[in-house]
């Protein structure tokens, strides 16, 4: 290659006209306005999310009991956590709870959304939508207090009703399986309304023509839902499952009020462990370490969901 | 397509809006208005007293505040009623306030937290008690030394007890009548108790449970451990305390007293502990009692007052509760906890603890004395929502309306059984209580589950007690 050729392929200096134009006053005003509108949200996220997360990570490296000054502990809190069988049981319980609660929540919400989306007077549809959403606006702690009465083995309404049909009293809150079942049922009863509303919205977004075309091709009933509705609803399912899993992994009020984590540790969840370690036993460093691990778990599960969604979620 | 750029005119308009908003905000800011500093007691040099919210309703708070104002018009007082479901929840919230830098000066602390607060947060009252000994002589003469001793830690006094509750047995007369049983004698035994439960069960339907108990440190398994002559943790007395006993109590009453209790070595695998658990497991197996539940027995008043429960352990606090639930004085009664190997009973007491961080310690001491006065307690405990620490307040007149007939049992639990003691509550109480509740739940799943669960309890208690608070 000759020098002349090299020179020929060298980029020539840009002329003043080709340099990116400086933003006009109008552009700067527009950007400033956008920044002003975004500022409250960004400040909120930084103050209430980013700073506490960073604070927890830092605190997980210290021993701190609120009363005395924190002392640096390095990885000691993490070693303590990994050697504590209660922590491992709490994570196992939380994962078991998450699997059953989210599956049941999505299933009930989907079935009811399909039912409500069928032929029905508009006013009745509105009644159902409000009724299914209503538990979500109630306090989880208050609901759990009421449910604790209902599920009481000796005096509860649930066992009284079961007794009417000849079923012996179930130790809902005092046996390991019964306690987890009761916690899942109470949680799902309160939470499914959110997924239900998402599904109703998602179903309304599916063009009627597609269903009509499927009908013309001979698809009916369940087959039509499996082959047409579900694939087209998969983006909504993804959102509902992501939100559902994140919430379920942070469950606290229901097991705390209903069973106090018992019997034994059978319903002790990770967030319950964090609360007890920090605010009852004054082990804020260890509690923060468990909090960091839960954060990592939630991030990992969510990332996995989005990765899997490439194969299972169909966007129109 | 819309133009995303702002025109100069629009920008000017937004600018004008912004200036207008700023002017309005400035005007509003210049007006007199309520701010955080206007909350009574905040940053105004008030003496702040934190109490357990549910125990101190608005009327009680007014009573406390007005009475104190009359005596000490120069001291501003704020009662901070902290809402909590139980003592451990209450302590958690107080500790959060301390962490946030808004520590109260005084905290109402029950036995569960006496040693935790004394060890880490409290100020010993010794110097003030010695200084004002003449004024306090009447108080100590009226308060059982066991209650005072339960407020001592390593030789020093940290609180003046104002109330206590011993775990006695409440019995429903309607259920007793149904079973054809008579009210038990004061010296009834564990076997009498079991026989009574069986009689009650036979004469009642399937929706009836003879004995109800709640899984907690106070009134749960612990009274049975005491009755069987054992405890969850080995119990001893700290040296010291003579400065108080010698000055305020006669020789007969100060015998065996020390500088407060020490709960040290876990003994969950002790044969007598296992025996007590085994006994409770057998009651459950026979359907004579409820399985241990978490929580605080919220539904207990309802099921007892409607005759769906026959017997339950509770303190003087229940007299007021049952009265409110519609029970007449003749509908129920109270008896001592049944004898097993011993008839030692358990109690929990409460009083005000002074925090080290307080800058108003002299004023706080004045409040402590005021809160322990008889006239204050008479006004505060009108409805029998607890047992007053002062013996002279327990009179027939006090219990005429609410009952029970054997109201003397409440204080006689201390007077007639001098070895009656506080629930085991070392500084590591939060973890100890959690371990106790957790393993009690699994231990009582069946009689075979008792021994393995107690072994796990022992191991967890050892870890808990090794841990520095």
ipTM of the complex: 0.78
| Residue-level pLDDT at A17 | 53
Mean pLDDT is lowest, of A27-41, A209-223, A236-250, for A209-223
The answer on B357 and B217 residing in a single domain is: no
**Domain identity same for B388 and B461:** no
* Statement to judge: residues B336 and B228 lie in one domain: yes
Q: Which residues pair with B50 in a beta bridge?
A: B80, B107
The pLDDT of residue A13: 59
Q: Check whether residue B50 and residue B121 sit in a common domain.
A: yes
Which of A33, A152, A264 shows the shortest C-beta gap to B441? Answer: A264
Please state the rounded mean pLDDT for residues B12-34.
72
Q: Where does the pLDDT of residue A290 fall: very low under 50, low under 70, confident under 90, or very high at 90 and above?
A: very high
Nearest to A262 among B212, B303, B438 (CB): B438
Burial code (b: 16+ CB inside 10 Å, e: under 16) for B159-189 equals bbbbbbbbbbbbbbbebbebbebeebeeebe
What is this structure's pTM?
0.83
B42 — pLDDT class (breaks 50, 70, 90): low
Residue A18 has pLDDT above 80, yes or no: no
Residues B123, B56, single domain; the answer is yes
pLDDT digit string, tens, across residues B307-362: 999 999 999 999 998 998 899 999 999 999 999 999 999 999 999 999 999 999 99
What is residue B5's predicted lDDT score, i.e. its pLDDT? 58
Of residues B421 and B91, which shows the higher confidence score? B421
Alpha carbon separation from B203 to A269, B68, B177, B178, B195 (Å, rounded) = 42, 53, 10, 6, 13
Contact list, B91 vs chain A (CB under 8 Å): 280
Residues B284 and B331 in one domain: yes
- Inter-chain contact B98–A66, Cβ cutoff 8 Å? yes
Same domain, B50 and B159: yes
Domain that holds residue B131: 44-165+349-393
pLDDT value at residue A1: 42
- Most A-contacting residue of B100, B294, B311, B430 (CB-CB within 10 A), to test interface: B294
Paired tokens of B332: 């129920």
Confidence tier at B295 by pLDDT (50, 70, 90)? very low
Q: Confidence band (pLDDT; 50, 70, 90) for B401? A: very high
For residue A4, is pLDDT > 50?
no
Q: Please, is A149 exposed, middle or buried when counting C-beta atoms within 10 Å of its C-beta (0-12, 13-18, 19+)?
A: middle
Q: What pLDDT was estimated at residue B12? A: 77
Q: What is the pLDDT of residues B158-207, one digit of tens each?
A: 999 999 999 999 999 999 999 999 999 999 999 999 999 999 999 988 78
Query: Are residue B328 and residue B210 in the same domain, yes or no?
Result: yes
Q: How confident is the model at residue A6 (pLDDT cuts 50, 70, 90)?
A: very low
Instruction: Mark residue A21 as left, alpha or beta (left: phi above 0; alpha: psi -120 to 50; beta: remaining).
Output: beta
Per-residue model confidence (pLDDT) at position B36: 55
Q: Are residues B128 and B205 in the same domain?
A: no
CA dihedral B141, B145, B149, B150 (to 10 degrees): -110
Give domain status of residue B189, yes or no. Answer: yes
Q: What is the pLDDT of residue B89?
A: 82
- Taking only the tens place, the pLDDT of each residue in A81-111 is 999 999 999 999 999 999 999 999 999 999 9
* Strand, coil or helix: B209: strand
CATH code of the domain containing B63: 3.40.190.10
Q: Test A153 with B11 for CB contact under 8 angstroms.
A: no
- Chain A residues within 8 A of B291 when measuring between CB atoms: 153, 171, 174
* Residue B297 confidence (pLDDT): 62
- Locate the domains of chain A by residue range: 84-312
Strand partners, B347: B166, B422
The CATH number of the domain covering residues in A84-312: 1.10.3720.10
Q: According to the model, what pLDDT value does residue B441 have?
A: 87
Tell me whether residue B413 is in a domain: no
Distances (CA, A) of B138 to B113, B240, B245, B379, B391: 26, 23, 14, 18, 12
Instruction: Indicate the range of A108-112, A245-249, B83-87 predicted with least confidence.
Output: B83-87
Percent of chain B residues topping a pLDDT of 70: 93
Tell me the average pLDDT across A134-162.
91
Within A21-151, strands assigned E span 62-63, 71-72
Segment A284-298 mean pLDDT: 96
Nearest Cα residue in chain B from A175? B445
What would the pLDDT profile of B235-267 be if each residue is shown by its tens digit?
999 999 999 999 999 999 999 999 999 999 999
Is the confidence at residue B83, as pLDDT, over 70? Answer: yes
Query: Based on the domain organization, do B180 and B290 belong to the same domain?
Result: yes
Q: Is residue B178 part of a domain?
A: yes
B52 pLDDT band, cuts 50/70/90, is confident
Same domain, B206 and B70: no
B463 touches chain A (CB under 8 A): no
**Nearest-neighbour CA in chain A from B123: distance (Å):** 14
In this structure, the answer to whether residues B224 and B284 fall within a common structural domain is yes
| Number of domains observed in the structure of chain B | 2
- Average pLDDT, whole number, for chain A? 89
How far apart, in whole angstroms, are the C-alpha atoms of residue B443 and residue A40?
53
What's the pLDDT at A214? 80
User: pLDDT grade, residue A201 (50/70/90)?
Assistant: very high
A26 vs B140, which has greater pLDDT? Answer: B140
Q: Does A212 touch chain B (CB under 8 A)?
A: no
């Amino acid at each position: 290659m000759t020098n002349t050729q090299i020179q020929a392929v060298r980029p020539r200096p840009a002329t003043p006209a080709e340099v990116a134009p400086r933003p006009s006053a109008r552009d700067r005003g527009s950007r400033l306005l956008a920044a002003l509108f975004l500022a409250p949200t960004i400040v909120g996220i930084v103050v209430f999310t980013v700073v506490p997360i960073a604070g927890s990570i830092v605190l997980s490296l210290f021993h701190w009991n609120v009363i005395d000054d924190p002392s640096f502990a390095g990885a000691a809190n993490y070693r303590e956590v990994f050697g504590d069988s209660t922590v491992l049981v709490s994570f196992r319980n939380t994962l078991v709870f998450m699997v059953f609660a989210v599956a049941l929540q999505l299933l009930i919400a989907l079935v009811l959304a399909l039912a409500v989306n069928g032929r029905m007077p508009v006013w009745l549809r509105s009644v159902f939508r409000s009724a299914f959403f209503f538990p979500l606006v109630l306090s989880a702690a208050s609901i759990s207090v009421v449910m604790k009465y209902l599920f009481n083995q000796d005096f509860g309404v649930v066992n009284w009703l079961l007794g009417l049909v000849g079923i012996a009293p179930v130790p809902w809150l005092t046996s390991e399986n019964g306690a987890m079942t009761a916690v899942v049922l109470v949680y799902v009863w309160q939470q499914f309304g959110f997924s239900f509303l998402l599904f109703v919205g998602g179903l309304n977004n599916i063009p009627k023509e597609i269903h009509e075309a499927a009908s013309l091709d001979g698809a009916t009933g369940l087959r039509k839902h499996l082959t047409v509705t579900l694939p087209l609803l998969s983006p909504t399912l993804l959102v509902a499952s992501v939100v559902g899993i994140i919430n379920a992994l942070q469950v606290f009020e229901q097991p705390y009020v209903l069973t106090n984590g018992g019997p034994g540790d059978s319903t002790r969840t990770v967030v319950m462990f964090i609360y007890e370690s920090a605010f009852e036993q004054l082990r804020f460093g260890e509690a923060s370490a468990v909090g960091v691990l839960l954060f990592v778990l939630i991030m990992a599960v969510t990332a996995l969901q989005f990765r899997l969604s490439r194969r299972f979620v169909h966007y129109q | 397509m819309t133009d995303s750029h702002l025109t100069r005119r629009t920008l000017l308009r937004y600018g004008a809006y912004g200036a207008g908003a700023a002017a309005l905000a400035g005007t509003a800011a210049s007006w007199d208005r309520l701010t955080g500093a206007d909350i009574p007691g905040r940053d105004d040099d008030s003496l702040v007293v934190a109490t357990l919210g549910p125990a101190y309703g608005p009327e009680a708070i007014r009573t406390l505040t007005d009475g104190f104002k009359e005596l000490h018009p120069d001291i501003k007082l704020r009662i901070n009623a902290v809402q909590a479901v139980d003592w451990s929840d209450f302590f958690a919230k107080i500790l959060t306030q301390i962490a946030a830098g808004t520590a109260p000066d005084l905290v109402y602390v029950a036995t569960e937290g006496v040693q935790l607060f004394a060890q880490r947060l409290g100020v010993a009252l010794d110097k003030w008690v010695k200084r004002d000994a003449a004024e306090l002589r009447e108080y100590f003469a009226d308060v059982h030394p066991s209650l005072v001793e339960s407020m001592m830690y390593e030789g020093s006094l940290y609180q003046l007890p104002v109330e206590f509750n011993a775990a006695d047995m409440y019995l429903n007369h309607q259920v007793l009548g149904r079973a054809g049983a008579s009210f038990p004698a004061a010296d009834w035994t564990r076997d009498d108790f079991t026989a009574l439960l069986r009689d009650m069960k036979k004469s009642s339907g399937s929706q009836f449970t003879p004995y109800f108990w709640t899984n907690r440190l106070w009134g749960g398994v612990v009274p049975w451990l005491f009755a069987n002559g054992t405890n969850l943790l080995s119990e001893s007395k700290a040296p010291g305390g003579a400065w108080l006993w010698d000055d305020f109590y006669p020789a007969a009453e100060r015998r065996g007293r020390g500088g407060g209790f020490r709960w040290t070595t876990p003994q969950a695998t002790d044969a007598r502990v296992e025996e007590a658990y085994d006994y409770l497991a057998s009651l459950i197996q026979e359907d004579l009692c409820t399985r241990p539940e978490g929580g605080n027995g919220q539904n207990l008043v309802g099921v007892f007052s409607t005759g769906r429960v026959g017997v339950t352990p509770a303190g003087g606090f229940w007299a007021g509760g049952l009265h409110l639930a519609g029970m007449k004085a003749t509908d129920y009664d109270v008896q001592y906890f049944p004898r097993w190997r011993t008839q030692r009973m358990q109690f929990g007491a409460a009083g005000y603890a002074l925090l080290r961080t307080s800058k108003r310690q002299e004023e706080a001491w004045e409040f402590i004395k005021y809160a322990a006065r008889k006239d204050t307690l008479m006004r505060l405990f009108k409805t029998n929502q607890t047992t007053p620490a002062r013996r002279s307040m327990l009179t027939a007149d006090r219990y005429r309306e609410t009952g029970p007939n054997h109201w003397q049992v409440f204080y006689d639990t201390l007077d007639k059984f001098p070895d009656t003691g506080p629930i085991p509550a070392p500084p590591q109480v939060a973890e100890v209580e959690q371990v106790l509740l957790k393993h009690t739940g699994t231990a009582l799943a069946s009689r075979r589950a008792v021994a393995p669960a107690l072994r796990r309890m022992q191991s967890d208690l050892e870890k808990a007690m090794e841990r520095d608070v």
